[in-house]
Amino acid sequence: MTNSTQVSYFTLSAYFDTGVFKYLYFLIVLTFYICIIGANVLLLVVICVNRSLHEPMYLFLCSLFVNELFGSTGLFPFLLVQILSDGHTVSTSSCFLQIFCLYSYGGVEFSNLAVMSYDRYLAICCPLQYNSRMTSNKITVFIALTWFYPFLVNTFIMFGLTVPLQLCGNIINKVYCDNYYVVKLACNDTTVNNIFGLVHMFTVIFVLILLILFSYIKILKVCFSGCKQTRQKAVSTCTPHLASLLNFSFGAFFEILQSRFNLYNLPNMLRIFLSLYWLTCQPLINPLLYGLKMSKIFNVCKSLLFGGER
């Protein structure tokens, strides 16, 4: 791998000297990581041990929470090491591994949210047909696809497009490894990489966006024409999902904006915050959204933490 890329390590230049404050940043990031692990593991346990929560919506939530743990583990231990490091370097193989993990996390997250929007559409717009249309086999297929396809695509990107590139530099202007920045270091032509990125964006991502828009347009139609009980059900089940979807979309948009358009005129701390937002806030906000807004999960969590009848 080292011979094919001409570099054995990358330097992350977005870090700056923080002096003794690096220990404070270390504690803040460590606290974030512990909270993310604790909240997501708690909700996973709650859903798994309570048979009343073994419904399609909660199974999709389990997939979502597992992905939060996966993405966080691909980022936070790396950040903790780099915060305390003086050189801010990372080996080529470790950098590529992190790129694979973070990009797979993003793909699985968006795919999962799209499938969950379709599940909410069936539950609200076709309640009598829901159990026959959202069978256990279909749930298994949906969850398998949300994980398999992003992993397959990112395996192709890494070993088919990025790893073979001849690189003329090793400086990445971020606090973590990013495929776009590695490709920018290439000496040879990267047209194939760019074309694949555009095709992937306008096929898979566009299809998922259409699925989400279709689901929520149908839900809104039912809300406007249905009874008060239907509207309450839609609001109670869709609010956490919609908030999670918007949070992830805005975070990803900010990341793409500041990466692709080189917003170097922004303060360094702001650029770091924008690049980390979609990777740090989503895993922390999701357990809060679903744990507090969904009454079934909230009541079971309360009984587990504070005792009492379920």
Q: Report CA dihedral (166, 100, 240, 234) to the nearest 10 degrees.
A: 90
**Helix axis angle, 56-84 relative to 21-49, nearest 10°?**
160
Span of 1-5, 204-208, 238-242 with lowest mean pLDDT: 1-5
257, burial (CB in 10 Å: exposed 0-12, middle 13-18, buried 19+): exposed
- 135 contacts: CB under 8 Å, gap ≥ 6: none
Judged by DSSP in three states, 16 sits in: coil
- ∠ CA 242-292-27, nearest 5°, is 95
Q: What order of strands is seen across the sheet that includes strand 9-12? A: 89-91, 9-12, 171-172
229-244 residue pLDDT tens: 777 777 777 888 889 9
Q: Which residues pair with 171 in a beta bridge?
A: 11
- All structural domains of the chain, each given as residue ranges with its CATH number in brackets, are 2-306 (1.20.1070.10)
CA distance 137 to 140: 5
DSSP 117-138: HHHHHHHHH-TTTHHHHS-HHH
Helices and strands, number each (H, E), in the chain: 12, 3
Q: Which two tokens stand for residue 88?
A: 């801010």
Residue 6: its pLDDT value, please? 67
CA distance 277 to 134: 33
Residue 112: its pLDDT value, please? 95
Residue 3 has pLDDT above 50, yes or no: no
- 303 contacts: CB under 8 Å, gap ≥ 6: 309, 310
Residue 234: its pLDDT value, please? 77
CA distance 115 to 215: 10
Residue 134 one-letter amino acid: M
266-309 residue pLDDT tens: 777 888 888 899 899 999 999 888 876 666 677 777 676 666 55
102 pLDDT tier (thresholds 50, 70, 90): very high
